[in-house]
Amino acid sequence: MPTRKDIFINCREFHIFDRTLEDHDIFNDLKIWEMFLGAVKYYSYYIKVSFSDYRRMKENDRHVIVKHEMIKANKLVDIEYHMGMPNHYHFILKQLQDNGVIHCMSRALNSITRYYNRRHKRKGPIFLPQFRSVAILSAEQLVRTSGYIHLNPWKSGLVSSLQGLINYPTSSLGIYVGVKGSTWLRTEPVMRHFHYSGIEYKKYLIGKGISE
């Protein structure tokens, strides 16, 4: 695997994205996306127990992991957005500790690759060799990237309206506009620019040309 040229700096956000090999539409299977998102959430902390082992644990044992390892001191990245398109994904991650982005994404990608291969009785990678990243250097860029990510299904012709975007099952938009709740997604960096109002954020997206 080629050496990464990206420099991931603590306390900075990064747009993380990648495509599947041969543009296979693996995320049309919602179970695959839910497992991938679960792995990213899990590995946003430094935890020695693998996600697959965690999933096989009894509820009491899982509670021990949550109580003692999913703590602030072990937090590697904050997750600010997510979007699963049929053949690619987007995240905004804020790195909190050295190598946090690489640790989180590499382990999550390994986890979903193993899961997908077992499910489909195949071997080998399912994504291109390295995930790509773009550093977010300003509040304006962060808001613009937010809109770009959340509008992706509309621009790709998968939905035709704002309500379709909000209901898109692999998008974080429902959390941003207050339709869904979340205890783990960090929306404040963008929503502060919209006075923490889901209505204002929807107006921003409508201003990009999508109908209600």
Q: Is residue 4 pLDDT above 90, yes or no?
A: no
210/155 Cα distance (integer angstroms)? 9
For 9-137, which CATH class? Answer: alpha beta
Q: Dihedral through CA 72, CA 75, CA 81, CA 83, nearest 10?
A: -130
Instruction: Please tell me whether residue 167 adopts helix, strand or coil conformation.
Output: helix
| pLDDT for res 3 | 65
Cβ(82)–Cβ(47) under 8 Å?
no
pLDDT the model gives residue 134: 97
The pLDDT score that the predictor gives to residue 19 is: 97
Q: How many CB atoms lie within 10 A of CB 161?
A: 12
The predicted structure's pLDDT at residue 15: 98
pTM of the model: 0.94
195: left (phi over 0), alpha (psi -120 to 50) or beta: left
Could you tell me the residue ranges of all domains in the chain?
9-137, 138-212
Tell me which of 63-72, 145-154, 155-164 is least confident.
Answer: 63-72
Q: 212 pLDDT band (50/70/90 cuts)?
A: confident
